[in-house]
Amino acid sequence: MSTESPTNNAYMVPDGVLIGHLTPGTAAWEEARTGLTVTATEIAAVVGLSPWMSRFTLWHKKAGLQTPPFEMTPAIEWGSRLEDAVALKWEEEHPGKLAAPAGTWQHRDREWQRATPDRLIYPQPAVEFEIPDSAEELLEVKTSPFGDEWGPDGDPDGVPIHYRCQVMWQMDTLGLKRTRFAVLIGGWDYREYTVDYDEAEAKILRDAAETFLNDVRDGNRPPIDGADDTYKTIRVQPDHFDDIDVEIPAEDADRYHAAQAAAKAATAELTAAKGLVLDHIGPGRRAVVGERRIAYRIAKPDGTTKSLTPYKQKDAA
């Protein structure tokens, strides 16, 4: 057992090389995530499964082109603030285990494969401040306002697919075989999940990442998709304004007009459908059909409706 700090100990994991304990938002942190690399938070975008970043936007980022600036949302801010508290709860639930900050890593043989797990799990040292020579597992800490995308506590299939991609990449980068999840939902509902390493699944992600990086090198831009993130990336591409007419394909113009008309019709239909559901709820809280939850009402202090929010299809099914 070693008394070296986690930062200096280069032998904590089988396959990873520690780059450092980098502060998010700093130049060093940005440098470790840019260029022709793929991080654990980016791999879901590579395979088209990220709810936050499209493959189109990630391609522009890796190609050194303009992308929308990072936005510190309340969810991100509070997730960061609560990480230590949730990790401490996990330690309390697992006596004999220590969950230490992990730092940023790259694979020993694939320098482009990088990951920044939340915590490395060690056996609790017998002597205070003593760090074991090797980590056993990873701990990923998450917070969620409602938890609609998470399954029941302990459900092996309860982890959202984009987070599964993330931790599979982390395990593949560091050479560890299991990730524990500690999840706080709604500020009070604490849940745990486990994801084990799957070599076949990891290879699918590696192959997709290598193909993606080759597309960046070769200038093969992904097609434009319907993600809001993609549209934001397109909006930041021009760096000047020319007051000129630009000829576009007729089929693209027709598609634009058809989508505008469909959106107008869909908006009207959605408003009518929301009115029906809200009228049924009245002063109640939730609309249900048998065991299926449809939507819930958030009320103002005077009892009138502030908003009507649908339950996600996963929970509604």
Q: What is the predicted pLDDT for the residue at 2?
A: 36
pLDDT digits over 286-306, tens only? 999 999 999 999 999 999 999
Q: How many residues does the chain have?
A: 317
pLDDT digits over 76-106, tens only? 788 889 999 999 999 999 999 999 999 999 9
Q: What is the predicted pLDDT for the residue at 77?
A: 85
pLDDT digits over 237-246, tens only? 988 889 999 9
Q: Give the pLDDT band of residue 7 (cuts 50, 70, 90).
A: very low
Contact 106, 113 (CB under 8 A): yes
CATH 3.90.320.10 intervals, the chain: 16-218
pLDDT digits over 167-203, tens only? 999 999 999 999 999 999 989 999 999 999 999 999 9
pLDDT digits over 220-237, tens only? 999 999 999 999 999 999
pLDDT digits over 102-140, tens only? 999 999 999 999 999 999 999 987 666 666 678 999 999
What separation in angstroms does the CA of 201 have from each of 167, 174, 195, 263? 11, 15, 12, 38
**How far is the C-alpha of 262 from the C-alpha of 79, rounded, in Å?**
37
CATH topology assigned to domain 16-218: Lambda Exonuclease; Chain A (3.90.320)
Q: What is the predicted pLDDT for the residue at 25?
A: 67
Q: Give the pLDDT band of residue 313 (cuts 50, 70, 90).
A: low
Q: Give the pLDDT band of residue 4 (cuts 50, 70, 90).
A: very low
pLDDT digits over 143-176, tens only? 998 877 899 999 989 999 999 999 999 999 999 9
Average pLDDT, the chain: 89
Greater model confidence, 274 or 28: 274
Q: What is the predicted pLDDT for the residue at 10?
A: 45
Q: What is the predicted pLDDT for the residue at 127?
A: 64
